Amino acid sequence: QVQLVESGGGLVQPGGSLRLSCAAAGFTVDYYAIGWFRQAPGKEREGVSCISSIAGSTYYTDSVKGRFTISRDSAKNTVYLQMNNLKPEDTAVYYCVTDGGEYCSVLSNLSKWSFRGQGTHVSVSS
């Protein structure tokens, strides 16, 4: 049974950092593409980042490039999203997702992927 559990969200001041974790069960993260999307109140869902299987190619939406880094730890079967220099506009609930495939395709499709976690809330405010 595929299961994704996010953690690591919280309240942080602008310019601060958080690391989100996505612990996977029922499959091995090395063999499937894993992505993150976010949803802010009153806004559309936004694909944030993705890491493909095997080669581990990474992709980011323009607004987070240079600030966010996606990675995975095979031993822990976990995918991370390191978020630095956070801005108020990064405030949202963040979800990790997988679709059972190897490739990321377009980030805008991440919110449609079949399996997602319960989400973790990130709030950036002074």
- What are the φ/ψ torsions at residue 121 (nearest 5 degrees)? -90, 130
Q: Are 47 and 61 in contact (CB under 8 A)?
A: yes
Asked if residue 55 has pLDDT above 90, the reply is no
Return d(Cα 93, Cα 75) in angstroms, integer: 26
Return d(Cα 65, Cα 121) in angstroms, integer: 20
Quickly state the pLDDT bin for 105 (edges 50, 70, 90). confident
Return d(Cα 11, Cα 2) in angstroms, integer: 29
Quickly state the pLDDT bin for 54 (edges 50, 70, 90). confident
Q: What is the pLDDT of residues 11-40, one digit of tens each?
A: 999 999 999 999 999 999 999 999 999 999
- What are the φ/ψ torsions at residue 123 (nearest 5 degrees)? -125, 125
Q: What is the pLDDT of residues 62-95, one digit of tens each?
A: 999 999 999 999 999 999 999 999 999 999 999 9
Contacts of residue 121, Cβ cutoff 8 Å, sequence gap at least 6: 9, 10, 92, 93, 94
Token digits of residue 69: 């880094």
Token digits of residue 20: 């989100």
- 75: enclosing H helix or E strand: none
